[in-house]
Amino acid sequence: MKAAGAVLWREADGDVEIAVVHRLRYDDWSLPKGKLDRGETIPACAVREVFEETGYSCVLGRHLRQVSYDVRGVPKTVDYYAAEAVSGDFAVSEEVDELRWLPIAEASELLTYEPDRDVLAEFARLPADLLLVLLVRHAKAGKRSEWDDDDDLRPLSDAGWRQAEALRALLPLWTPTRVHTAPRVRCADTVRGVATDLSVEMVEEPRLSEEGYWPDPEAGLVRLLEVASDEGRAVVSSQGGVIPSVVQSLAEMGGLRLSEVPCKKGSVWVLAFTRPFGTWSTSDSPSRWPTLVSAHYLASALPRP
């Protein structure tokens, strides 16, 4: 059984408040969460459950952790995200009869279950407002050996277009405002729908293509950090020969341990970075650059059957 939820937060007088809900059926205080519907992704479930239990629309941030336990002998996992409340108002429902906005320490004391307190502690470990890059590997494009034209022009396959449409539905849950792409037809077409929906032009990133990255990997890493630092969140579409190196290198620079860096076609790495103090440049010490503090892998944007 799979479920998803969130630490729903908002700014309050320069600090952060957390939404804690009281569930009438269980007479407990918990973080908003619930089971996946058929045909739903885990991130979409988190957003929906937050709205149904709190009345607030939200924007997803970093993945916090997955909690596992048994429900009447059936294994259950719950994936939790940080989520910023952007609009809405609480109303009593059959499931939730009270919501309280509380400082983190008070919210932790009120929560009934230890796993919820652990999730909240993970949220509190880092700033709530982080820079975010959604690093996408292009969707399926058939076999290179079966394409006779310039490989830069190799198009998405039918399966690839399905993946692209799924990404078009998934990525807006993090409310990106910019779309960047390696200069490949298959990379651009993977995120073209997202750019269309945002009414923005895609920005080509030669440094994040395979032949542009490997002659100078450091320049490619710096370019991704520059993209992360710009105003608003970004989608970046790249290739399988680039993404694992970028993610692993940034993780090592930030002291973040990753046991592996998978990179399936149509997958997404949700990368969260600290905000640098003031402006930064490549001439500064790397300690002043944005630092990768969270990297969560989504193997597929396609919903569960």
- Give residue 33's pLDDT band: very low, low, confident or very high (50, 70, 90): very high
Q: What is the model's pLDDT at position 108?
A: 98
Pairing status of strand 268-273 against strand 2-12: unpaired
Question: What is the mean predicted confidence (pLDDT) over 66-90?
Answer: 92
- Give residue 282's pLDDT band: very low, low, confident or very high (50, 70, 90): low
Question: What is the mean predicted confidence (pLDDT) over 120-142?
Answer: 96
Whether pLDDT at 150 is above 80: no
Give percent of the chain above pLDDT 90: 86
Question: What is the mean predicted confidence (pLDDT) over 227-254?
Answer: 96
CATH code for the domain defined by 131-298: 3.40.50.1240
Question: What is the mean predicted confidence (pLDDT) over 116-134?
Answer: 97
Quick one: DSSP state of residue 304?
A: P
Query: Could you give the count of Cα atoms lying within 13 Å of 298 in the half-sphere of its Cβ?
Result: 28
- Give residue 119's pLDDT band: very low, low, confident or very high (50, 70, 90): very high
Whether pLDDT at 143 is above 80: no
Residues 190, 192, 197, 200: what is their CA dihedral angle, to the nearest 10 degrees?
130
Question: What is the mean predicted confidence (pLDDT) over 27-53?
Answer: 97
Question: What is the mean predicted confidence (pLDDT) over 16-25?
Answer: 96
Of 303, 273, 298, 301, give the one whose Cα is nearest residue 288.
273
Whether pLDDT at 190 is above 90: yes
Quick one: DSSP state of residue 206?
A: G
Pick from 5-9, 61-65, 66-70, 281-285: least confident:
281-285
**Domain limits, the chain:** 2-124, 131-298
- Give residue 148's pLDDT band: very low, low, confident or very high (50, 70, 90): low
Computed over every residue of the chain, the mean pLDDT equals 94
Q: What is the model's pLDDT at position 69?
A: 84
* Comparison of pLDDT for 4 and 281, the residue scoring more: 4
Whether pLDDT at 149 is above 70: no
Residues 86, 89, 93, 96: what is their CA dihedral angle, to the nearest 10 degrees?
60
Q: What is the model's pLDDT at position 14?
A: 87
Written as six digits, the tokens of 9 are: 């937060």
Question: What is the mean predicted confidence (pLDDT) over 194-214?
Answer: 98
The 8 Å CB, 24+ separation contacts for 203-211 are 203/178, 203/179, 204/180, 205/180, 205/181, 205/236, 205/238, 206/182, 208/180, 208/182, 208/236, 208/238, 208/242, 208/246, 209/182, 209/183, 209/184, 209/238, 209/239, 209/242, 210/182, 210/239, 210/241, 210/242
To the question of domain 2-124 being in CATH 3.90.79.10, the answer is yes
CA–CA separation, 200 and 110 (whole Å):
44
